[in-house]
Structure 1
Amino acid sequence: MTGARRSAARGILPGLMLVAVATGIAWLAHLALPQVSPLTFGLLLGIVLGNTGLARDSFRPGLQVAARRLLRLGIVVLGLRLSLPQVADLGLPMLIVVVATVVIAFGGTLVLARAFGLSRDAGLLLATGFSICGASAVAAMNGVTRSKESDVVTAISLVTLFGSAAILMLPALQVPLGLDDHHFGLWTGASVHDVAQTVAAASVAGPVALSAAIVVKLTRVVLLAPMVAIAAVVERRRSTSGDGATDSARVARPALLPLFVAGFLLAVLVRSSGLLPPSVLGVAQTVETTLLTAAMVGLGTSVRLRTLIRTAGRSALVGLLSWILIAGVALIGVHLAG
């Protein structure tokens, strides 16, 4: 290792140590309160660190590594949750419902964001998070949009807030809406944002609902890859359009298929092969959650609460309407699919 590399490694070490401690605390908090995802606790701890002065400038390099590189590694490992045969078992009608729900929620959120005057990137991050898989999807989309940190954190905060609210709201609506456990699970999987939030909401109704919810939810997660790939293509075209882009901007164009998205797809194929034993998949799920929790800590340290409170009003309204939209569309779809 050269002197420059040793110096860089020493530079990121303090921040990574801080992230490791916060991630451990987040896991302990999750064990004490299983209804709340470690990712949520990680984000909250990061916000506390960033707003109390504990995340000093010397920690910044390591925090950025957590927020970017560890996040992408976590998304790659997330692919091991998905099995293509499980997706196929849903049947064509439910697959159509899942795809239609994602597309309508994504497009509808973009329209809402534009109507309320949000920036293009802010709307795109909200649309991805609410329509696919919460904080992981927001962060994955940011891998190709290079959005402002404030937009990223606002989107993650809102999908976390409304996804957590769904844990309480959806089970309370099961009986009034006349849903049996199976259909409640389908609705939960098609409408709740984060995987952990989906599990928490569906488990209230029992194992039948939980099984249906997980399969539908993970099918939505599969759509993360094409969504990010399409966004990458659009970003490349924008960077070479007649908007004054320079040659240096063209050099920085996003890849057509970001490496971490390719890794995610490869992980899906590995899981679908059936070669990995359950014990390995269990470890992989823990590793994935730990990596994403560490990333949330890193992202949370960039949040400035005063700025967030001052600027997030319109975003929160868009998030609320998007939450209602995806829940409504998913409910209609579940009834139509039978």
Structure 2
Amino acid sequence: MTNDVRAVADPQQPVGPQPAVDSAVEGSAHGRAAGVATGVAACVVGAAIAMGIGRLVPAINPMLIAIVLGALVANLVTVPGWIRPGLDFSAKRLLRVGVALLGLQLMFSDVVGLGWGVIAVVVAIVVLGIAGTMYMGGLLGLSWTQRVLIACGFSICGAAAVAAADGVVDAKEEELLTSVALVVVFGTLMIPAIPLLSHVFGLSERQAGMWAGGSIHEVAQVVAAGGLLGGGALAVATVVKLARVLMLAPVMAYLGARQRRNADGRGKVNSKQPPLVPVFVLGFLGCVALRSSGLLPGVVIEQAKLVQTALLTAAMFALGLGVRVTLLRSVGPRPFVLAALSTVWVAAIALTGVLLVG
């Protein structure tokens, strides 16, 4: 622990190496509270900067800016270990609240309005995308949890899905951070690729929008690509993508049920079992239902969107602070190979569906 911790925990303590004292301070409730508060404050500042840059450059979503900004900070300066509780709180708690509030941006009628053919394509993208990614990851020798994070992130809704899946399967930290970094890299590459390939394949504006919404990882990345395709394509792309986001609920419910079965199978009857359906997923569905009811005025929806963006941006900054070059080097090339294969696989499924029903 650094001298900074001791300054926060007890300003009267003398400066100098005192490992025993530092350890006691770090373990104290006061020291932990200071770490949580300072870590959350750092993420709030990072989110504010990212959102400020986003206002100056509207084409770039603040959540993506936050991940990159956090990664830059992590690799350029030493992040004090004592603020880790605050970073963990932001990356998990704040993110889950943000994911729940994301439901206020979607109405069931929007999804139904796509038509049952498009809905079937969305389900196929998520189910086959996850199944194919899991299979290919197994051939590459990656752990089950690493495959789950990449599969959910690339098939559903990017970093939010990665973190949501981590909340259910409890993956290793390096697996979580690697998956988030891969979503940023490959999803960003898809922004110019989908519009370019749509032109090469001669897709209509609606088909191109469907392909973008069905294949690109992050909601923000879909919006960026949809903007390049045109206004009509952007609307279709956004709704198709949000339909994929809605698939977060059944997928997390399945993973939760699987984890419970595994815990029972190992005889851990007295251990704390993962919930069948995570609370934040229920919150997400509740927000979708609330928005679909038509009871919320437009101003409330707009303010909720701002809060949701701020929470997710703070969480992305916290996740970005864990993305270090040394970490990415240590995991080896296999996760990157799986990310590339998964990107192509999901895009191929989406394009096939577009050509069939679009």
TM-score, with length taken from structure 2: 0.89
The separation in 1 between residues aligned to 2:302 and 2:190, in whole angstroms, is 26
The separation in 1 between residues aligned to 2:152 and 2:130, in whole angstroms, is 6
Q: Is the 8 A contact 1:186 1:213 kept in 2?
A: yes
| SS class of match (1:221) | helix
Percent identity between the aligned chains?
40
Residue 227 of structure 2 is aligned to residue 207 of structure 1: no
Q: Is the 8 A contact 2:181 2:323 kept in 1?
A: no
Residue 258 of structure 2 is aligned to residue 234 of structure 1: yes
Structure 1 residue 164, shift from structure 2 partner:
0.7
Q: Match of 2:321?
A: 301
Q: Match of 1:319?
A: 339
Q: Match of 2:201?
A: 177
Q: Is the 8 A contact 1:137 1:224 kept in 2?
A: yes
Q: Is the 8 A contact 1:190 1:216 kept in 2?
A: yes
Q: Match of 1:222?
A: 246
Cα distance per residue 1:271-324 (max 9 Å; x no partner):
111111222212212211111111111122223321212314110110101101
Residue 95 of structure 2 is aligned to residue 71 of structure 1: yes
Q: Is the 8 A contact 1:170 1:188 kept in 2?
A: yes
5 Å-filtered alignment, 1:278-293, equals 278-293=298-313
The separation in 2 between residues aligned to 1:78 and 1:328, in whole angstroms, is 27
Cα distance per residue 1:31-89 (max 9 Å; x no partner):
23333221122112222333344421232121111011101111111111110011110
Q: Is the 8 A contact 1:109 1:127 kept in 2?
A: yes
Residue 39 of structure 2 is aligned to residue 15 of structure 1: yes
The separation in 1 between residues aligned to 2:318 and 2:183, in whole angstroms, is 17
Residue in structure 2 matching 1:167, options 178, 185, 191: 191
Structure 1 residue 246, shift from structure 2 partner:
4.3
**Bigger relative contact order, structure 1 or 2 (CA pairs below 8 A, ≥6 apart):** 1
Code of the residue aligned with 1:139 in structure 2: it is A
Structure 1 residue 5, shift from structure 2 partner:
7.6
Residue in structure 2 matching 1:56, options 73, 76, 80: 80
Q: How many residues align?
A: 331
The separation in 1 between residues aligned to 2:78 and 2:278, in whole angstroms, is 33
5 Å-filtered alignment, 1:1-338, equals 9-242=33-266, 246-247=268-269, 250-338=270-358
Code of the residue aligned with 1:134 in structure 2: it is G
Between stretches 279-288 and 185-194, larger displacement belongs to: 279-288
Q: Is the 8 A contact 1:14 1:58 kept in 2?
A: no
Cα distance per residue 1:174-199 (max 9 Å; x no partner):
22111111111111111111111001
Unaligned runs of at least 5 residues, structure 1: none
| SS class of match (2:199) | coil
Q: Is the 8 A contact 1:189 1:215 kept in 2?
A: yes
Q: Match of 2:7?
A: none
Q: Which has the larger radius of gyration?
A: 2
Cα distance per residue 1:145-178 (max 9 Å; x no partner):
1111111111111111111111111111122111
| SS class of match (2:193) | helix
Structure 1 residue 220, shift from structure 2 partner:
0.6
The separation in 2 between residues aligned to 1:8 and 1:101, in whole angstroms, is 43
Unaligned runs of at least 5 residues, structure 2: 1-27
Cα distance per residue 1:100-144 (max 9 Å; x no partner):
111111100000110101000000000000000000100111111
Q: 1:207 to 1:104 in 2, by over 3 A?
A: same
Structure 1 residue 26, shift from structure 2 partner:
1.0
TM-score, with length taken from structure 1: 0.94
The separation in 2 between residues aligned to 1:5 and 1:265, in whole angstroms, is 35
The separation in 1 between residues aligned to 2:283 and 2:30, in whole angstroms, is 28
Cα distance per residue 1:6-26 (max 9 Å; x no partner):
775434111111111111111
The separation in 2 between residues aligned to 1:175 and 1:46, in whole angstroms, is 35
Between stretches 116-125 and 15-24, larger displacement belongs to: 15-24
